[in-house]
């Protein structure tokens, strides 16, 4: 058996009933759907933070996409300046720069797994499964980094203790309340991860007996 055949694995048999053929087709359908959801998520917001205070009854909002920030970024940066927090745009610059290409590559790897009928399909799909969790971990890292490293020379540094803004839910910084929420793009990324995992289940169920018989 060649190394390539060990990697790719057996083909779906031609003489299958409609029910068994559907079993082999499920991973393909699930993984194509997952890859499409990942691509769609690029164009949608992943995370949102709302800043509430008496002087801002409507709140200030920062909307995070994988490659940019939108909303009241300048206004929030102006407030953060007084407590010694760096501008939001300085966070995750590398991640935003490579995000579109990186997520597109993850989607292509998922599609590539369709043609791998062995356990090695997991290696191609694992990065896409982990992507939304890595996004949140990276978000937490930067929020912690900014909140715990305040400029001690800032005007209000003496009355604000270092803090970690929440990446989900509400928190308080002085008189301000922050409300963080997951948005549709991130939800689609998590749904994509779930579909990939389900696809792996059906992939194993369909192809493992054939691999064992090789």
Mean pLDDT score of the chain: 91
Per-residue confidence (pLDDT) for residue 6, from 0 to 100? 77
Whether the model clears a pTM of 0.85, i.e. scores above it, the answer is yes
CA gyration radius, the chain: 23
Mean pLDDT, residues 125-144 taken together: 97
Largest Cα–Cα separation, the chain: 76
Q: Is residue 214's pLDDT more than 70?
A: no
Q: What is the pLDDT of residues 44-95, one digit of tens each?
A: 999 999 999 878 888 999 999 999 999 999 999 998 998 899 999 999 999 9
Other beta carbons within 10 Å of 192: 29
Split at pLDDT 50, 70, 90, the class of 138 is: very high
- Among the ranges given (2-6, 47-51, 188-192, 204-208), the one the predictor scored with the smallest mean pLDDT: 2-6
Q: Is residue 149's pLDDT more than 70?
A: yes
Per-residue confidence (pLDDT) for residue 175, from 0 to 100? 79
Q: Burial of 124 by CB count in 10 Å (0-12 exposed, 13-18 middle, 19+ buried)?
A: buried
Counting residues of the chain whose pLDDT is more than 70, the rounded percentage is 97
Q: Is residue 96's pLDDT more than 90?
A: yes
Mean pLDDT, residues 18-42 taken together: 93
In terms of average pLDDT, the best of 83-87, 191-195, 203-207 is 191-195
Per-residue confidence (pLDDT) for residue 202, from 0 to 100? 96
Residue at token pair 């300085």: 90
Higher pLDDT, 193 or 211: 193
Other beta carbons within 10 Å of 153: 7
């Amino acid at each position: 058996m060649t190394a390539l055949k060990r990697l790719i694995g057996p083909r779906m048999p031609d003489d299958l009933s409609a029910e068994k053929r559907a079993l082999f087709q499920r991973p393909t359908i699930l993984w194509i759907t997952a890859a499409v959801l990942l691509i769609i998520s690029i164009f949608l917001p992943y995370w949102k933070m709302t800043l509430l205070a008496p002087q801002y009854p409507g709140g200030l909002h920062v909307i995070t996409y994988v490659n940019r920030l939108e909303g009241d970024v300048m206004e929030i940066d102006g407030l953060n300046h007084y407590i010694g927090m760096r501008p939001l745009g300085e966070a995750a610059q590398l991640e935003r720069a490579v995000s579109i290409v990186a997520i597109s590559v993850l989607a292509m790897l998922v599609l590539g797994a369709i043609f791998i009928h062995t356990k090695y399909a997991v290696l191609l799909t694992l990065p896409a499964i982990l992507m939304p969790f890595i996004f949140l971990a990276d978000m937490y890292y930067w929020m912690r980094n900014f909140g715990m490293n305040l400029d001690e020379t800032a005007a209000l540094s003496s009355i604000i203790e270092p803090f970690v803004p929440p990446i989900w839910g509400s928190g308080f910084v002085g008189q301000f309340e922050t409300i963080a929420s997951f948005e549709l793009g991130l939800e689609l990324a998590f749904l994509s991860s779930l579909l990939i995992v389900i696809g792996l289940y059906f992939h194993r169920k369909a192809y493992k007996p054939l691999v064992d018989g090789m």
